[in-house]
Structure 1
């Protein structure tokens, strides 16, 4: 019989393989992996003691995304491991799908960055009541909205076309998550004024704003000095 750890590992491996196929590992994905693995972090700004900086250039952007995906994956893994009280089966199915997406996003960036990846981050979920639907969905909305605004706020800095393609593929999935979570919180509210502006465009945020929100749930603090 498979243990809970075995099942988690199976889910991680399946999710990663699915995303590599989805991202086009046979074409652009392989180029992304080989180029990223051959690069090294380039810090143009002196790092802050005790804080992990993502670096600069395209590798810095990938590390920025990797940090956020680590946080989201850890959150949804906990949500599914300890479902909130009376979680309906349909919500369990939705949140399980989101967990699998976030895990494969995390694993993709980890593999793509290779030795250039920042270290694994330690989350701090002490402010979250995982037994409460309101608490869990509220944080889920905050994380999904943060992810969308993060990609939209930094994508213009990307130089490598393959990286830009992957970022576009991921942010579109994150936006689907954000819409679903919003609708779970308030039926019919799949998009709100804090997600999309009056021009019908996704709201974006600078990395410094994004990380201020993310660091509230991380014991390992992260900075993006080259992009602030």
Structure 2
């Protein structure tokens, strides 16, 4: 199995530039975000409404992924090869950049840091870690695909498109680690054979799937539905 080179190393500064996370774009995001302070009286971590809510939704998922891969690297599973460590470290770095980008872009509209619960994952087991990574990556791709149509701003949609393409590369890399040299990188469980498109899930379905890994109650009641 050839793993080296599947993910080209990219520094955090370079990746932020790739995303277009300049001061001008951050100002644009803040201008387009609606202040939902009045909604925070509802129980749980309120994502907000409109584009603000969708960006917070993405921020919540990126927090989850960043925390997961940070733990994977800090407590490596038994027998992790140097090639696997390189790939998983690069994925971690990308997820940290995604998380920090949304936090900076949302500014005062950003939700707080979430508390994660990975007690169901055996981080000493390669099978358990890569299996969980597969779940997180596939879920992340389907989440961005499902949320894209809910965004009003073309600028935000462009950013989401750039990020989901990276998440899809992560998903393919993880699947290749689990099943080397197979067609599983685009299996029929995620890509519909009839149209060749990746799965897309609504925020409610994604948050239900991620619920067991997040201690906080996520309130997505104000997110746009269509």
**Range class of TM-score, shorter chain:** 0.7 to 0.9
Q: 1:54 is matched with which residue?
A: 47
> Following superposition of structure 1 onto structure 2, how do residues 3-82 of structure 1 map, counting pairs within 5 Å?
15=12, 17-25=13-21, 29-38=22-31, 39-42=33-36, 48-49=42-43, 51-82=44-75
TM-score using structure 1 length: 0.87
Q: Partner of 1:92: helix, strand, or coil? A: helix
* Pair 1:145–1:106, CA change in 2 (3 A): same
Give the Å deviation of 1:86.
0.8
What is the TM-score when the length of structure 2 is the normalising length? Answer: 0.87
Instruction: Provide the aligned length of Structure 1 versus Structure 2.
Output: 210
1:85 and 1:133 in contact (8 A); partners too: yes
Structure 2 stretches lacking a partner, 5+ long: 1-10
191-200 vs 88-97, which moves further: 191-200
**Which residue among 197, 217, 223 is the counterpart of 1:201?**
197
Partner of 1:191: 186
- SS of the residue corresponding to residue 166 of structure 1 reads helix
User: How big is the alpha-carbon RMSD for the aligned residues of Structure 1 and Structure 2?
Assistant: 1.8
SS in 2 for 1:151: helix
Structure 1: runs of 5 or more not aligned: 1-13
- Which stretch shifts more, 33-42 or 194-203? 33-42
The answer to whether the Cα contact below 8 Å between 2:64 and 2:116 also exists between their aligned partners in 1 is yes
The separation in 1 between residues aligned to 2:72 and 2:80, in whole angstroms, is 10
